[in-house]
């Protein structure tokens, strides 16, 4: 698997593989033939399509206008490495990556009761930039994907010992108003912070070739207690 885009375990299982990643299966591995049917079935069950190379949609040589999007994907890879952020969910459509970070705003009461405090160490989750841009263009079509990814995150916050000891979970993105539909408390950002992230959002959307990169999407913060999030969304 391309560096930063996931890994293959010794038993053939895949984790953290993002859409567009390349998995290299060495032809000299004598175990490959025996493992391949189960591996392909596993990928299919996780919404990946198994296709011959000639049938890949949009396959073409990279062009100069593709370079900004490629560069942004590399930025995400390095950001995740430095921040110890990892992907949540193993389906092709999984949207979220999660790590820990101090809560950056003033103390905030929560809809479900309780509060988070400035500087308190919490789970912060990030949305895949390319997928987020695509869903911002098609919000209705993306609702199923968002719901499935929210459930993936809730199960991780319930079951993963690296994530299930923190008091709350938050995200800062242009998608926060949608997260409000899932029970999050949505908080406006300070003006300087909002202007900076609005500019960055336009950079991302222009790099990924959206139809109207100047259309305003206001970034906000969404926060929810971990217990309430798990209770509401962790469905097996």
pLDDT tens for each residue of 99-122: 999 999 999 999 998 999 999 999
**pTM reported for the whole predicted model:** 0.77
Distance between first and last Cα of the chain: 28
Domain chopping of the chain, boundaries: 7-55, 64-233
Reading the block at residue 43, the tokens are 């990928």
Q: What is the pLDDT of residues 17-73, one digit of tens each?
A: 555 556 655 556 677 677 777 877 877 777 777 777 777 766 777 778 777 777 877
* Calpha distance 92→163 (Å, rounded): 22
User: Structure tokens of 166?
Assistant: 């923190």
- Cα gap 141→118, rounded to integer Å: 35
Q: For Cα atoms 122, 127, 129, give the angle at the middle one, nearest 5 degrees.
A: 140
């Amino acid at each position: 698997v391309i560096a930063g885009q996931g890994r293959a375990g010794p038993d053939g299982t895949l984790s953290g593989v993002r859409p567009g990643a390349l998995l290299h299966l060495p032809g000299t591995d004598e175990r490959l033939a025996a493992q391949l049917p189960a591996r392909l079935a596993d990928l299919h069950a996780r919404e990946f399509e198994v296709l011959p190379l000639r049938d890949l949609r949009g396959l073409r040589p990279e062009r100069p206008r593709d370079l900004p999007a490629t560069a942004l994907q590399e930025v995400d890879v390095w950001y995740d490495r430095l921040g110890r952020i990892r992907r949540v969910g193993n389906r092709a459509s999984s949207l979220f990556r999660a790590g820990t970070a101090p809560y950056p705003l003033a103390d905030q009461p929560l809809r479900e009761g309780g509060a988070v405090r400035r500087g308190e160490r919490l789970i912060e989750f990030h949305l895949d930039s390319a997928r987020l841009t695509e869903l911002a263009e098609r919000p209705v079509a993306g609702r199923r994907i968002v719901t499935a990814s929210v459930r993936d995150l809730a199960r991780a916050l319930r079951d993963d010992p690296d994530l299930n000891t923190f008091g709350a979970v938050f995200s800062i993105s242009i998608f926060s108003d949608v997260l409000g539909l899932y029970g999050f408390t949505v908080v406006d950002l300070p003006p300087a912070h909002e202007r900076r992230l609005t500019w960055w959002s336009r950079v991302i959307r222009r790099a990924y070739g959206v139809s109207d990169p100047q259309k305003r999407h206001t970034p906000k913060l969404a926060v929810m207690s971990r217990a309430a999030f798990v209770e509401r969304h962790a469905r097996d």
